[in-house]
Amino acid sequence: MHEHLCVTRWFDPVVEAVGHDARGWYVEAFWLPVLGPTAVALARRLADGLDRRPDGFTVEFVELSASLGLGDKPPSATAMLTRALRRLDSFKFVALDDAGGVRARTHLPPIHSKHLRRLPDVVRSAHHEWAEAQLNRPIDDLARMRARRLALCLLEEGDDTDCAERGLARMGVPTRLARDAVTWARDRHLQAARAVTELTSSA
């Protein structure tokens, strides 16, 4: 591996609409037994870094290893972090290149049935209960949540509100729902911008 990792965001509107935040409860409950704790901790760390620096960031390999509790002494620390990266790459949660670049997802997809079957009974039961609860939610609530998440992703990618609304329409989101989602996402952006301004002023 290289001395530095250059991390950029792997944007996939479908996964970001139906998937789960890498730092969320779903990933910890259901993906952790499949990926292992080191890979999940790494996925969270990369997602958190991309939240703070959406245009990407560079981190020293040894520094990242130490921050995950893997130590800073090659070759053992380097080997463990490399395994975690390759583990995420094998599931297509990150994409590695030969120049030390990493494209990382901030959201992970729902767990596949083939992995679910291998989980302990108690975890499978918990997933079944979660899935049943999702089925019992009103369809309008689910559609609104997914449309809003998509709209937020599009605005974060630099689309203006008109482009975001047209993008949602191309994905099959009804016009009224698309307009509501874009308005909600725009307000979230404005709130975040005000919070940053206030934080900067107080500092």
**pLDDT score of 196 more than 70:** no
| 10 and 100 assigned to the same domain | yes
Structural domain contains residue 129: no
pLDDT digit string (tens) for 12-34? 877 777 788 899 899 999 999 99
- Per-state percent for the chain, helix, strand, coil, to nearest 5: 65, 10, 25
* Host H or E run for residue 91: none
Cα 58 from Cα 9, distance rounded (Å): 12
Structural domain contains residue 91: yes
pTM reported for the whole predicted model: 0.69
pLDDT digit string (tens) for 149-187? 888 888 877 888 888 888 887 777 777 888 888 888 888
Contacts of residues 80-84 at CB distance under 8 Å and 24 or more positions apart, as own/partner, are: 80/38, 81/1, 81/38, 81/42, 82/1, 83/38, 84/36, 84/38, 84/39, 84/41, 84/42
pLDDT digit string (tens) for 71-125? 877 777 788 889 999 999 999 999 998 777 899 999 898 898 889 899 999 999 9
Kindly state the tokens that stand for 34. Answer: 């499949």
**pLDDT score of 202 more than 70:** no
| 108 and 157 assigned to the same domain | no
Residue 12 domain boundaries: 4-119
Specify the pLDDT at position 8: 94
Is the distance from CB of 35 to CB of 29 less than 8 angstroms?
Answer: no
Specify the pLDDT at position 45: 94
Residue 100 vs residue 139, higher pLDDT:
100
| 8 and 98 assigned to the same domain | yes
| 150 and 74 assigned to the same domain | no
Specify the pLDDT at position 171: 75
| 88 and 146 assigned to the same domain | no
Longest dimension (CA), the chain: 56
> Helices 37-52 and 76-90, interaxial angle, to 10°?
80
| 8 and 106 assigned to the same domain | yes
| 93 and 41 assigned to the same domain | yes
Specify the pLDDT at position 74: 75
Structural domain contains residue 177: yes
For residue 43, the tally of other CB atoms under 10 A from its CB is 28
Specify the pLDDT at position 40: 96
Structural domain contains residue 71: yes
**Domain total in the chain:** 2
| 59 and 152 assigned to the same domain | no
| 106 and 189 assigned to the same domain | no
